[in-house]
Amino acid sequence: GQNIDQPTEMTATEGAIVQINCTYQTSGFNGLFWYQQHAGEAPTFLSYNVLDGLEEKGRFSSFLSRSKGYSYLLLKELQMKDSASYLCAVLIDYKLSFGAGTTVTVRA
């Protein structure tokens, strides 16, 4: 099977920064996605990394190190609406294999 690990829960204060780490050991690798999922809703796309380095998109940034099997999602200037589950997913051939998700709670 595929091993994709991320922390279960994180809590942060409104306006702060939170970094969600994801490590993976998979049978293949064609890229890594981060998705946001609010309770009872479908995941929405946040970022995609296929090469090493940092991809920045507004308040969200994602980093990838393929040699270390490691990625992180950085959320800046946290807002209450950022409270959600964040899913790390590895693309293997054309299929996505998901981590269990990290529930982020933003407190006022």
Partner 1 sequence: GAVVSQHPSRVICKSGTSVKIECRSLDFQATTMFWYRQFPKQSLMLMATSNEGSKATYEQGVEKDKFLINHASLTLSTLTVTSAHPEDSSFYICSARGDYNEQFFGPGTRLTVL
Beta sheet of 70-75, edge-to-edge order: 3-5, 18-25, 70-75, 60-65, 53-57
Q: Which residue has the tokens 């409270």?
A: 83
Distance, in Å, from the CA atom of 21 to the CA atom of 7, rounded to the nearest integer, reads: 7
Please list, in sequence order, all residues whose beta carbon lies within 8 angstroms of the beta carbon of residue 69, skipping any fewer than 6 positions away. Answer: 23, 24, 25, 26
State the nearest-atom distance from the C-beta of 56 to partner 1, in Å: 18
Span near partner 1 by CB under 8 A; candidates 21-29, 60-68, 70-78, 97-105: 97-105
10 to 49: interface string for partner 1, x by CB under 8 A:
--------------------xx-x-x----xxxxxx--x-
Residue 96 as a binder of partner 1 (CB under 8 A): the answer is yes
Which residues of the chain form contacts with partner 1 (CB under 8 A)?
30-31, 33, 35, 40-45, 48, 87, 91, 94-101
